[in-house]
Amino acid sequence: MEAPAQTGSAATDAADVARVLAGEVRAFEGIVRRWQGPLINMAWRYCRDRSRAEELAQEAFLRAWRNLASWRGESSFSTWLFALAANVYRNDLKRFPTVNVPMEDVTEPSGPATQHSVLAERSRDESVRRAVLALPHRYREPLVLFYFHEMDVSAAARSLRLPEGTVKARLSRARALLRKRFPHLEDEAQSPELPHQTQRKEA
Partner 1 sequence: MKETEVKDAIDNILANEPELIPSSGFLASVMERVQEESAAPPPIPFPWKRALPGMILAVGIIGWGGVEFASHAMQSGATLTLHAPDLPVVVTQHLQQAGWIAVACAASLASWLFARRLTGRSGLL
SS3 78: helix
Minimum CB separation from partner 1 for residue 24, in Å?
Answer: 10
Using CB under 8 A as the binding rule, whether residue 18 contacts partner 1 is answered as no
How far is residue 108's CA from residue 111's CA, in Å, rounded to a whole number?
Answer: 8
Could you say which residues in the range 132-171 bind partner 1, by CB under 8 A? 132, 143, 147, 150-151
Minimum CB separation from partner 1 for residue 158, in Å?
Answer: 19
Q: Cα 183 to the chain's mean position, in Å?
A: 24
Look at residues 69, 68, 72, 64 and name the one whose alpha carbon lies nearest to residue 88.
64
Q: Cα 131–132–137 angle (5° rounding)?
A: 125
Closest CB to partner 1 among residues 2, 164: 2
DSSP state, residue 163 = -
Could you say which residues in the range 67-106 bind partner 1, by CB under 8 A? none
Q: How many CA atoms lie within 13 A of 93 on its CB side?
A: 25
Using CB under 8 A as the binding rule, whether residue 62 contacts partner 1 is answered as yes
Q: Which residues bind partner 1 (CB under 8 A)?
A: 1-2, 25, 28-29, 32-33, 36-37, 40-41, 44-45, 50, 53-54, 57-58, 61-62, 65-66, 124-125, 128-129, 132, 143, 147, 150-151, 175, 178-179, 182, 185-186, 188-190
